[in-house]
């Protein structure tokens, strides 16, 4: 489990496509504290560390992962949000995030608003019913609060700090994003379906 609070902004160093695709990332994490087999949320996608060294780690992504996330969009130099898993004693600063991407959305608009920026995102129809004003959603692994929902889009304000420490600092209209809906919204909807 994760919280959606990004703890490192890294980048893709290498991409190697054989059977599965190997991604090697540059990171500021102390890799002596990360075990082989550990999970790291990479822009919201939970991936397993398969190799590591000082200032880098590698993961393997299956064809399924490439087809249902933005992982397949990454090339050398792409920036990636990283978060290590939540430990039992950690502060839950964002919201509970599983690292299992529910779908891919797109940035539709970015407008300055005060010191922050208002982002408008589109989402697949089957996910929009789970996105509610003042609810939580993880976008590229970042825990965010929804401002408004209109038809097939939703709006969120991104403050300056979040822009500096995540991939939102270089985001552009048209970029695809990983979306994970709030776990509670998913389970409430499932319960209501059974009634």
pLDDT digits 0-9 by tens, 142-185: 999 999 999 899 999 999 999 999 999 999 999 999 999 987 77
3 state DSSP class of 130: coil
What pLDDT does 3 receive?
Answer: 84
Length of the chain equals 195
Given a cut of 90, whether residue 119 has pLDDT beyond it is yes
Decide: 45 and 65 in contact? Cβ < 8 Å: yes
User: Binning pLDDT at 50, 70 and 90, where does residue 92 land?
Assistant: low
Domains and CATH numbers, the chain: 8-83 (2.40.30.20), 103-194 (2.40.30.20)
User: Binning pLDDT at 50, 70 and 90, where does residue 195 land?
Assistant: low
What pLDDT does 95 receive?
Answer: 74
What pLDDT does 146 receive?
Answer: 96
What does pLDDT average to over the chain?
92
Decide: 77 and 24 in contact? Cβ < 8 Å: no
Q: Which of 151, 176, 5 is nearest to 101 (CA)?
A: 176
Given a cut of 90, whether residue 191 has pLDDT beyond it is no
3 state DSSP class of 87: coil
Which pLDDT tens digit goes with each residue over 61-73?
A: 999 999 999 999 9
């Amino acid at each position: 489990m994760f919280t959606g609070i990004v703890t490192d902004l890294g980048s893709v160093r290498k991409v190697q496509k054989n059977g599965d695709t190997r991604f090697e990332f540059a990171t500021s994490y102390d890799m002596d504290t990360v075990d082989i087999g550990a999970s790291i949320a990479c822009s919201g996608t939970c991936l397993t560390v398969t190799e590591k060294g000082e200032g880098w780690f590698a993961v393997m992504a299956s064809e399924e992962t490439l087809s249902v996330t933005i992982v397949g969009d990454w090339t050398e130099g792409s920036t990636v949000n990283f978060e290590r898993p939540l430990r039992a004693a950690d502060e839950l600063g964002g919201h509970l995030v599983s690292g299992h991407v529910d779908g891919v959305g797109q940035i539709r608009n970015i407008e300055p608003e005060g010191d922050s920026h208002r982002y408008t995102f589109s989402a697949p129809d089957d996910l929009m019913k789970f996105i509610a004003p003042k609810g939580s959603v993880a976008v590229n692994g970042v825990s965010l609060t929804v401002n408004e929902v209109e038809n097939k889009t939703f709006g969120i304000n991104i403050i300056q700090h979040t822009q500096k420490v995540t991939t939102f600092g270089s985001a552009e209209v048209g970029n695809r994003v990983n979306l994970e809906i709030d776990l509670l919204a998913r389970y409430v909807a499932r319960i209501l379906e059974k009634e």
